[in-house]
Amino acid sequence: MSLAMIEVKDLVKNYGKHTAVDGINFRVRKGEIFGFLGPNGAGKTTTLNILAGLSLPSSGVATIAGLDITKHPIGCKKRLGIATQDANFDHHLNIKDNLYYQGLLYGLSRKELKIRVEAALSWAKLGKYRKKHFHQLSGGMQRRLVVARAMLSDPEIILLDEPTTGLDPQSRRQVWDYIKDLKEKGKTVLLTTHYMEEADVLCDRISIIDNGRIIACGTPDELKKVLNNDIVIDIALDPAVVNVVNRHIEKDLRNISGVNYIKRSDNGIRIGVGDDAVIEQVLNSIITKYKISGINIIHPTLEDVFLHLTGREMR
Ligand SMILES: Nc1ncnc2c1ncn2[C@@H]1O[C@H](COP(=O)(O)OP(=O)(O)OP(=O)(O)O)[C@@H](O)[C@H]1O
Ligand SMILES: [Mg+2]
């Protein structure tokens, strides 16, 4: 088994009588992007803050590159960079000076730190904005800067708490490219999000967290397999003949293996199939015989998985 960069066992965090993290277990492997997907209040930030040494666990164990976070807090901090949900930039300083002064905390020499700050600004493509203040940057630039700050000490592991919340789709995609670049640099990334698409696109593996508990963990494809019917083929038929044709189609498809269900609808028929290979077979058998007015192929999303597991929508 590949090395666990982060390992969490039976982690609990209580705030008074409220249990924010309720006995979670997970491992993040070296070089992977691991996602924590869950709704508001699920316990994502609490877990990240514990890993980053910003908060103490009530019970349980967490290790960073094999080091126990409570016994070796400094060693753990050296291996980690965190981009918090709250940016915390000093509004009196420009972004370059912000990076410089925050970087002093890592104990680097001034010369080395200056090189790192330049590298961070250049990586985030913010070199020409160095004299600007944080609030003068666009939302996308701000998020890039926050991620770049997490990389100042060149850590092996980067924790990103909701790196794209509040961004428009285009800026979000840009930040995704930066996160993919971290992986290409060999970093291990643990990120939190409540965007299903983000988790799906970026993450090698995902833990779905709800009410402080991990309710499912796996690759995006593995998670989608918990749904009984993988892919839905929605076929619209000519309204004049729909009631006759959909009965014929139903008969034709009954013998195709991999067809999980067939449901007649008002304007056509819905077919649930196990995998992509069956789609072609189903479509061939229909298109050659009947006149159809539309086809829509719906792949299951993590939204469907969350709904299936909790009975609720995430938002
Ligand atoms: N310092 C605190 N004191 C008391 N309760 C807290 C504290 N921090 C978090 N909580 C509670 O713990 C639970 C988990 O909060 P947390 O911030 O970890 O959720 P989250 O998954 O990050 O949510 P979001 O998506 O809104 O950021 C919530 O019910 C929250 O109200
Ligand atoms: Mg949070």
**67-68 β-sheet, strand order:** 18-29, 4-15, 59-64, 67-68
The pLDDT confidence band at residue 312, using thresholds 50, 70 and 90, is: confident
Distance (Å, whole) CA 313 – CA 303: 7
CA of 18 to the centre of ligand 1 (A): 10
**pLDDT confidence of residue 49:** 95
Per-residue pLDDT band at 59 (split at 50, 70, 90): very high
Query: pLDDT: is 244 or 42 the higher one?
Result: 42
Taking the centre of ligand 1 as the mean of its atom positions, its distance from the CA of residue 271, in whole angstroms, is: 41
Q: How far is the CA of 49 from the centre of ligand 1 (A)?
A: 11
Pocket residues: Cβ below 6 A from ligand 1: 15, 18, 20, 38, 40-46, 85, 194
- For residue 13, the model assigns a pLDDT of 98
Write down the pLDDT at residue 183.
95
Do the Cβ atoms of 134 and 165 come closer than 8 Å? no
pLDDT of residue 221: 86
* Protein residue whose Cα sits closest to atom 5 of ligand 1: 15
Q: What is the mean pLDDT of the chain?
A: 91
Amino acid identity for residue 10 in this structure: D
**Shared fold status for 4-219 and 231-299:** no
Determine the distance separating the centroid of ligand 2 and the alpha carbon of 44, expressed in angstroms: 5
> Nearest residue CA, atom 28 of ligand 1?
41
CA 12–ligand 1 middle distance (angstroms): 13
pLDDT in tens, 179-224: 999 999 999 999 999 998 999 999 999 999 999 999 999 999 888 8
Q: In what order do the strands lie in the sheet with 33-37?
A: 80-83, 157-161, 188-193, 33-37, 205-210, 213-218
User: Which atom of ligand 1 lies nearest, measured to the CA of 212?
Assistant: 14
Q: Which pTM was predicted?
A: 0.83
Does residue 246 carry a pLDDT above 90? no
Please identify, in words, the CATH class of the domain defined by 4-219. Answer: alpha beta
Among 35-49, 109-123, 217-231, 254-268, which is the least confidently predicted range? 217-231
Q: With cut-offs at 50, 70 and 90, classify the pLDDT of residue 87.
A: confident
For the stretch 221-235, pLDDT in tens is 888 877 765 788 999
**Among 3.30.710.10, 3.30.230.10, 3.30.70.260, 3.40.50.2300, what is the CATH number of 231-299?**
3.30.70.260
Residue whose CA lies nearest to ligand 1 atom number 7: 15
Break the chain into its structural domains and give their ranges: 4-219, 231-299
